[in-house]
Amino acid sequence: MAERYGAPLAADEPSRGQAVIHPSREQWSDAAAAARADGFDQLIDLTAVDYLTYGADRGLPTGVQPERFEVVAALMSHERGERLRMRVQVPAADPTLATLFDLWPGAESLEREVYDMFGIAFDDHPDPTRILMPEDWSGHPLRKDYDTGRIPVQFKAASNVR
């Protein structure tokens, strides 16, 4: 499977019936384009994981260097009924990755959410603004080192008090 999407990609054993490939950041765009050309016509999901508090043993194949962040794209070929998961390691020192918007326009909002929550920017994204948090929000709430702090809960006065 991995050889169809560029070399050298490390391939996992199937996970829950899905093929899993591990392109490097440099291979990300080419692997995605090859998957699109191979019939993976839908981007089902794109998300990220912050592995700050995890060890290096995360089920990565030999040769794949673990980084703090991992971006995961789930693709589907409707014609063949197959799924493909792409997992790419993204370093904390340079949390950027190429956009998949040109291949799957639906990636636009998913990439904005990943930026908003994790701080991973997507190069050449058409609208790299926040989507969930206010524009003036400081930080990225799903990072493991984000201070949760305390926000006081404000209650309205009950209207049915007698």
Specify the CATH superfamily of domain 2-123.
Answer: NADH:ubiquinone oxidoreductase Nqo5 subunit (3.30.460.80)
According to DSSP, residue 15 is labeled: B
SS3 of residue 29 by DSSP: helix
Predicted pLDDT of residue 7: 41
pTM listed for this prediction: 0.85
Rg (CA), the chain: 19
More confident residue, 151 or 8: 151
18 pLDDT above the threshold of 60: yes
Ranges assigned E (strand) in the chain? 10-11, 19-22, 42-50, 69-77, 82-90, 96-98, 121-123
Handedness of CA 16, 19, 25, 29 (dihedral sign): negative
Predicted pLDDT of residue 146: 87
31 pLDDT above the threshold of 50: yes
pLDDT tens digits for 61-109? 888 999 999 999 999 999 999 999 999 999 999 999 999 999 999 999 9
Q: How confident is the model at residue 127 (pLDDT cuts 50, 70, 90)?
A: very high
Domain boundaries, the chain: 2-123
Predicted pLDDT of residue 100: 98
8 pLDDT above the threshold of 50: no
3 pLDDT above the threshold of 70: no
